Amino acid sequence: MLATIIFNALWVGFLGGILASLVRIGFQQLFRTEEAKKTEALSIGGGVFLDFSQAAFVIGSIILSIVFIIWANYDATITQGSGMVWGFIVWVGIEQVYQVAKKKHPFFWHLPWQKTAVEIVGFLLWGWTMYLVAIGLPISGVYF
């Protein structure tokens, strides 16, 4: 039973994590300036930039999607708000605890409110996308 849940969570989480990270990255790209994009990325010439922080987020998103699906199989309360509670928990954990402790950026009250709003909405959409993939593939074991 546990092996089946983990196996199904691995491949559904892989798909959900990739899709959710692309939704979040795409949403946040709508609100970034060109200067901010260039300072965060590595130029490979010809106006093409590689952003390794986004690649790290995709990998982390896959892992967190697998965790979300396994957790939802045992305790459905994490799916409250259609996965948006999970997105908010991850925003607090990553953006407000981990990255502040690593001094990558200040607490949200030291940032412009527009940037904080975009970050929160991006993570809420991220969690919602994971939830939609999980309920869209019933083999994941996550239901309404």
**How many domains are contained in the chain?**
1
Quick one: pLDDT band at residue 93, thresholds 50, 70, 90? very high
pLDDT attached to residue 50: 66
* Amino acid (1-letter code) at residue 81: G
Residue 133: count of CB within 10 angstroms of its CB: 24
Give pTM, 2 decimals: 0.83
* 3-state secondary structure at position 65: helix
Least confident of 26-35, 59-68, 101-110, 127-136: 26-35
Full residue range of the structural domain in which residue 54 is found: 2-140
pLDDT attached to residue 111: 83
User: Tell me: the pLDDT tens digits for 108-129?
Assistant: 888 888 888 888 999 999 999 9
CA atoms of 65 and 129, how far apart (whole Å):
10
Least confident of 35-49, 57-71, 106-120: 35-49
